[in-house]
Amino acid sequence: MRILAIDTSTTINSVCILDDNGILVEHIVSSRNSHNRVLLRNLDICIREAGTRLEEIDALAVALGPGSFTGLRIGISTAKTLAWANRLPVLGIPTLDALALNVPCSGYPVCALLDARKKEVYCSIYRNTAGYPESLTKYLVLLPEKLAELISSPTVFVGNGWLLYESFLKKKLRKNALSLPPSFHTMRASNIATLARLRLEKNDVDDPVTLKPIYVRPSDAEAGLKQK
């Protein structure tokens, strides 16, 4: 079974092709430009390097968010279009779940957190269950000081939100804030594919018509309409 996975939820543009034996290819680019300019080229690179064709892909997986509103829309619309055109099942995977998989064997809780801008972070706290993350909280958007109030024991932090607020959280939480090397904080499409494969084994797929991003908070446009 070959799964093509896409993650455009942050400034990282990541594409992976995974089969039953592991990763065939994964291409990760730090994309400061629009994902529109990078994603199709990234997809083409991975398909060619894997020595495969879209016709030989069995399923598509994509990061659902939370994350960059624009990036999520680009990734999800691309995955849905490819799924429709090639009659493939599509699976949406929450971004924070995939990020937590960067720490698969932790004996401590793992807090996955991403920069949400506006001085906030998207976050969720996980425990390790047989090598996979099991969420202990909802997907949240919080000020870093509010997140610190949720932490009462040693916790591993992972994600670009940690890189942004590391000094604050370390000062606030002291020994309860456990850090990782910089490479652990990168979003990876291979994690999206890994979690998608678990769902595929249960024949649990999404309807491409109704598949939607997980935003957690309303967009600026939606917030403006509510105020009016």
d(CA 164, CA 120): 10
The mean pLDDT value for 110-129 works out to: 97
Q: Topology of domain 3-95+186-227, per CATH?
A: Nucleotidyltransferase; domain 5 (3.30.420)
Digit-coded pLDDT (tens) for 49-72: 999 999 999 999 999 999 999 999
Does this chain's domain 3-95+186-227 share its CATH topology with 103-185? Answer: yes
Which H or E run contains 27? strand 22-30
- Most confident region among 37-41, 58-62, 128-132 by mean pLDDT: 58-62
User: Out of 27-36, 199-208, 216-225, which region has the weakest mean confidence (pLDDT)?
Assistant: 216-225
For every residue of 94-150, which 3-state class applies, written as one string? EHHHHHHCCCCCCCCCEEEEEEEECCEEEEEEEEEECCEEEECCCCEEECHHHHHHH
Mean pLDDT of the chain: 94
Q: Which structure tokens are listed for 140? A: 């949240």
d(CA 146, CA 208): 35
**Centroid of chain to Cα 44:** 21
The mean pLDDT value for 78-94 works out to: 96
pLDDT band at 220 (very low <50, low <70, confident <90, very high): low
Digit-coded pLDDT (tens) for 144-196: 999 999 999 999 999 999 999 999 999 999 999 999 999 999 999 999 999 99
pLDDT at 36: 86
Decide if 60 contacts 91 (C-beta within 8 A). yes
Q: Where are the domains of the chain?
A: 3-95+186-227, 103-185
pLDDT band at 219 (very low <50, low <70, confident <90, very high): low
pLDDT at 228: 45
Does the structural domain 103-185 have CATH classification 3.40.50.1240?
no
